[in-house]
Amino acid sequence: MTREARIGVTLGGLLLLLGVAGPIIAPDPLAPMSGPLLHPSLANWFGTDQFSRDVFARVAHGARISLGVALIAVAISTLIGTAAGLIAGASTRSGSAIASRCIDLGLALPRVVVLLVLLAAVGTLPLPLFAVVLGLTGWPGIARLVRGETLRLRHAPFVTAAEALGANTGRVLWREIFPGTLGPVLVAATLGVADAMLLEAGLSYLGLGVRPPHPSWGGMILEAREYLGAAPWLLLAPGVALGLATCAATLLGDALRRSLQPDAK
C-alpha cells in the first residue's frame, strides 16, 4: 500500500473509532458541564462551548451524523447513477437516448444550486430526508462515469462474444458490462463520500443543513464564529475533525483509483 493509502486508512480508522466509540465514552452532548467556554482539560478534552456542553462529545456525535449522512447520500446517488449510466450507455435506442439526455441535464445543474433552491423553497428538512435529498442530487456524476465505462465496454471483444452466443442486451448488461464498471464506481463512491461530507458540512455551516439539536461539525463551526478569539477550540475541534475526515476519504479514493489503473499517476 502506498504511503497515501496508509495515511488515508489510518485517518479513516481513527475517525471511525471516534464516531463509534466516542459517544460511548463521552458525556452527554446536551448536558451542561461545569461552565461555559472552558479551555480543553482532562475533564473536558476539547473544552466546553457557550452552553457549557462538552465539545468532545459533540464532535464524537457529529462524527456519527456526518458519516451517516454521507454514507446514505452516497448509497442513493451510486444506485441511481449506476442504473442511469448503464441504461444510457447500453445502446443507441430511444430508452438509452432519453437516459443520456437526463444525465446531461443533471450535469448541467450544479449540485449546490439545486440543493439551495430546494432548501429555499422547503425550509427545514428532517435529518434523514436531508441525507436522501443530498443523495438525490449527486447521481449525475456517477451516471456520467458509468455511461462512459458502459460505452467503452460495449465494444469490448468479450461482450461481442457474449452477444454472439445469443445473450440479449439486458443479460449482457448485467453479467458482462456491469461488473466491469464496479472498479471506477467504487472510486467514485469513495470520493463521493468526501464530496457529500463537504456539502453537508457546508450547508450546516450556512445554517441550512443539519439543525440543532443534532450536533454537526459544520454547525459547530458556524457557532464558533462568535468566539474565535475567546475560545478557538470551538473552531479547531470540529474543523480539524472535518478536515481529517475529508482528507481520509480523498486519499482513499485516490489510492483506490491508482490501484485500479496502475499506469495513471
Report the residue number, 43 or 109, with the smaller CB distance to other proteins: 109
What is the enclosing helix (H) or strand (E) of 97?
helix 94-108
- Residue among 114, 127, 151, 186 that touches other proteins (CB under 8 A): 114
Least distance from other proteins to the Cβ atom of residue 217, Å: 9
| Residue 237: closest CA among 58, 31, 2 | 58
- Residue among 1, 79, 97, 112 that touches other proteins (CB under 8 A): 112
SS3 177: helix
Cell of 234: 470551538
With CB under 8 A as the contact rule, which of the stretches 35-43, 45-53, 112-120, 181-189 interacts with other proteins? 112-120
Query: Does 13 contact other proteins by CB under 8 A?
Result: no
Query: Does 5 contact other proteins by CB under 8 A?
Result: no
- Residue among 79, 98, 228, 260 that touches other proteins (CB under 8 A): 228
Query: Which residues, in sequence order, are bridge partners of residue 48?
Result: 54
With CB under 8 A as the contact rule, which of the stretches 35-43, 64-72, 73-81, 236-244 interacts with other proteins? 236-244
Peptide bond between residue 213 and the one before it cis (omega within 30 degrees of 0): yes
Query: Which residues, in sequence order, are bridge partners of residue 53?
Result: 32
With CB under 8 A as the contact rule, which of the stretches 69-77, 82-90, 143-151, 201-209 interacts with other proteins? 201-209
Query: Does 220 contact other proteins by CB under 8 A?
Result: no
